Amino acid sequence: MTYKPVRLGVLGLGRAFMLMLPTFRNDDRVRLVAAAAPRAESRDAFVAEFGGRAYASVEELAADPEIDAVYIATPHQMHADHVEALAAGGKHILVDKPLAVTLKDADRMVAAADAAGVHLIVGPSHSFDPPVALARQMIASGDCGQVRMVQAFNYTDFLYRPRRPEELRTEEGGGVLFSQGVHQIDIVRLLCGGLARSVYAMTGAWDRERPTEGAYTAVLDFEGGAFASLTYSGYAHFDSDIWMNNVAELGGRKNPANYGAARRALRDLDPDAEARLKQTRTYGAGAEPPQPEANEHFGPIIISCDRADLRLSPGGVELFGDNDRSFIEAPLDPAPRKPVIDALVEAVRQDSAPTQTARWGRASLEVCHAILTSAARRQAVTLRKQCGIETKETQL
Amino acid sequence: MTYKPVRLGVLGLGRAFMLMLPTFRNDDRVRLVAAAAPRAESRDAFVAEFGGRAYASVEELAADPEIDAVYIATPHQMHADHVEALAAGGKHILVDKPLAVTLKDADRMVAAADAAGVHLIVGPSHSFDPPVALARQMIASGDCGQVRMVQAFNYTDFLYRPRRPEELRTEEGGGVLFSQGVHQIDIVRLLCGGLARSVYAMTGAWDRERPTEGAYTAVLDFEGGAFASLTYSGYAHFDSDIWMNNVAELGGRKNPANYGAARRALRDLDPDAEARLKQTRTYGAGAEPPQPEANEHFGPIIISCDRADLRLSPGGVELFGDNDRSFIEAPLDPAPRKPVIDALVEAVRQDSAPTQTARWGRASLEVCHAILTSAARRQAVTLRKQCGIETKETQL
């Protein structure tokens, strides 16, 4: 089926928007018609590239009648206010992960979308990556038997990328849980059916200069009996991308000669200088987004099922069966993050929700908080706001 | 210093002894002078190869006055009786891992060695592997700061290697915990200082035909604050040796064309036929032990410290520091498992105990049981019989 392009507004023209540019520039199912952002420089760049309207406030964007849906790419802690304003204006919403920082905000967002009768999709997130979706399809087919155990880990330089000060304060959504852990949780929940029962975790905040969580390890278990081990370190030492064909998170090629680059770039910067450095990576500041050569990924993931293990890679899924192994390709689309746009178009044009709804995003956020709580209390935490997978998988 | 060779007796001439042959044949610090084993075929092979005495009972071996120490390589559940008999005879003891199956047996063994005033070393175990010992030295040097997090995982075909029936019954020491998990626990305890505080775990027994634990995931935490994630699957699907330079556990080269070989070899075998197949892999049955080309290993292990991550590989330790990375080699000795013989010689000739004593082995066994208990109760289990590292590390 072909439809008229979805008329999309954008709220926030920072780093997250930058990373969506290759998609927006190459997928003609969406047309960027308006933006709202506080910086005149980025608004001007938007109008110069896409035409359309550029506003200084979310209220103006919400009142624009020529918009079907809005992509919210503002800092996490602002998501709830922005969703309420835009849902009240009748816009469908694509909100960048994590849904919010607090579960109270997440509840507000679920309620706002319900009350307005609009779709709220949490994305992009790596749970939309084509190899993850392919693995989910393979699981749903039943060919491999039940999912029994998932192992996911990722070693990155996250903690030493340029940050605004609040991104190093846990209570404001800083640290690896809300920005990074939520990806891993989203993926693992998708692979295991979504309904996590409990979590047990340890967290580490090992650098006094950046005193938020930079690492964690967690065990989740799920309705149906599957369990998962999740581990993350953002301390910029070992880099697990060597086990992902040297493909970086965003699909670019890693250059081993750049070892230590993240720490070097921050050396001798005070917090203001660091925030300014981050600013140079936003839209309208002259930089261009990375051009992916392979699918995005979130580190090595092994899925153990009754009759096969599945290993995710940037190119697809390697299947290790009882007798043979094989590789099933997940091609890179010229418009990367195509599955996110698939979800948006289906929501707007067919009134069909993806798995990654507001309730789904709240459930992943609940796990982030449960990891922090479990580590603080040194005991397992029972989960209460989980959300399963309700899709058209039977049609696959 | 040079000493007279240690006069070693061997109890049990099965698979474990086979795997020690490359060491015994190449390390002239030990001389095999006697053996005891139930099968005449293996006793005859021993005398033909090594000369010396061959007995049908442990009592005769214990009474042989020309023996300094005995290597116990009998099934796990017999270790306690055998240690009591040999310690009463005044022999120092090298007992293959795990120390025992039950903690009650482990207590008996600690008491027997103490009462007789003999050294009891638990080994070989992969905690003696040269890259592990090298990593421990690097940690003890203090150069990397504190150990904060360890991740260890291993995906093997363990559950589909030929077994005697009791090796598939957990209560008799079957399954992956006692034979395999104990290696991982030993290594992780060594890297983190030995004193585990608690464990939380999930286990999987997914094949009705082989109804013992074939997989687990566990989180351990340690005195001093380090924590560790341990994951194992023996279900013969994904093989994590691809991340260890395609070197197999025992140091041989993996042939990717052999995918699925473990399951194929068992196809259509009844339990008796399977036990007979296992027999063909023991000493005196015509087979030869594998010849290592690299150090043994127990799967990928990443150690996160304050100022560096260490990654174990069969060739040594890769160090990922704040600014640079480097590789520190751990050479393969012509007599593999040399560190085990180092420990034996030092115990017998210098009255100096290694880290891997009876108390150490009991502590690792306690973690195996705690993993089973935690998984059954779905809660963390506090550990009570842990044992630290008391070595000459300060001299390094």
Residues A97 and A150 placed together within one structural domain of the fold: no
Both structure tokens of A21: 């540019």
Could you tell me which chain A residue has the CA closest to the CA of B207? A306
Kindly provide the ipTM of the predicted complex, given to two decimals. Answer: 0.95
B394 falls within a domain: no
Crossing angle of helices B182-192 and B130-140, rounded to 10°: 20
B309 falls within a domain: yes
CATH code, domain carrying A271: 3.30.360.10
Residues B135 and B102 placed together within one structural domain of the fold: no
Residues A92 and A202 placed together within one structural domain of the fold: no
pLDDT tens, B155-165?
999 999 999 88
- Measured in angstroms, the CA of A15 and the nearest CA of chain B are apart by 26
B194 falls within a domain: yes
- For A279-287, what is the mean pLDDT? 84
- pLDDT for A393 equals 45
**Per-residue pLDDT at A146 exceeds 90:** yes
* Residue whose C-alpha is closest to residue A75's, from A108, A105, A49: A105
User: Cβ(B193)–Cβ(B393) under 8 Å?
Assistant: no
- pLDDT for A256 equals 87
pLDDT tens, B338-395?
999 999 999 999 999 999 999 999 999 999 999 999 999 999 999 999 999 975 544 3
Residues A153 and A293 placed together within one structural domain of the fold: yes
Which residue in B148, B243, B302 is closest to A204 by CB distance? B148
Q: Residue A287 — pLDDT band, cuts 50, 70, 90? A: confident
pLDDT tens, A26-85?
999 999 999 999 999 999 999 999 999 999 999 999 999 999 999 999 999 999 999 999
Both structure tokens of B97: 């891992």
Q: Cβ–Cβ of B309/A238 closer than 8 Å?
A: yes
Residue A59, SS3? helix
CATH code, domain carrying A33: 3.40.50.720
Residue A93, SS3? strand
**Per-residue pLDDT at B121 exceeds 90:** yes
Residues A24 and A95 placed together within one structural domain of the fold: yes
Outline where A117-166 has alpha helix (H).
Answer: 130-140
- pLDDT for B339 equals 95
Q: Which residue has the higher pLDDT, B247 or A335?
A: B247
Q: How far is CA A55 from the centre of its chain?
A: 26
Residues A55 and A203 placed together within one structural domain of the fold: no
Residue type, B354: P
Which of B238, B264, B326 to mutate to probe the A interface, most A CBs <10 Å? B238
Residues A66 and A113 placed together within one structural domain of the fold: yes
Strand partners, A10: A35, A71
Both structure tokens of A365: 């956020």
B387 falls within a domain: no
Q: Which residues of B touch A302 (CB under 8 A)?
A: 155, 238
A390 falls within a domain: no
Q: Residue A278 — pLDDT band, cuts 50, 70, 90? A: confident
How many domains, chain A?
A: 2
Residues A153 and A188 placed together within one structural domain of the fold: yes
- pLDDT for B288 equals 86
Which of B237, B240, B307, B374 to mutate to probe the A interface, most A CBs <10 Å? B237
Residues B78 and B44 placed together within one structural domain of the fold: yes
The pTM score is 0.96
Which residue in A217, A243, A308 is closest to B229 by CB distance? A217
**Per-residue pLDDT at B396 exceeds 60:** no
Element (H, E) at B182: helix B182-192
Q: For residues A120 and B133, give the distance between their C-alpha atoms in angstroms, rounded to a whole number.
A: 53
Residues A204 and A282 placed together within one structural domain of the fold: yes
Q: Cβ–Cβ of A309/B379 closer than 8 Å?
A: no
**Per-residue pLDDT at A392 exceeds 80:** no
Lowest-pLDDT range of A5-19, A113-127, A138-152, B285-299: B285-299
Q: Cβ–Cβ of A260/B148 closer than 8 Å?
A: no
Q: Cβ–Cβ of B198/A378 closer than 8 Å?
A: yes
State the residue range of the domain holding B215.
Answer: 130-334+366-382
Q: Which residues of B touch A263 (CB under 8 A)?
A: 322-323
Q: Tokens 């099965």 sit at which residue?
A: B14
Residue B273's contacts (CB-CB under 8 Å, 6 or more residues apart) are none
Percent residues over pLDDT 70 in chain A: 98
B26 falls within a domain: yes
Q: What is the mean pLDDT of chain A?
A: 95
Lowest-pLDDT range of A5-9, A141-145, B281-285: B281-285
Which residue in A155, A306, A323 is closest to B302 by CB distance? A155
Which of A144, A147, A197, A229 to mutate to probe the B interface, most B CBs <10 Å? A229
pLDDT tens, B16-32?
999 999 999 999 999 99
Residues A74 and A157 placed together within one structural domain of the fold: no
Q: Cβ–Cβ of B149/A233 closer than 8 Å?
A: yes
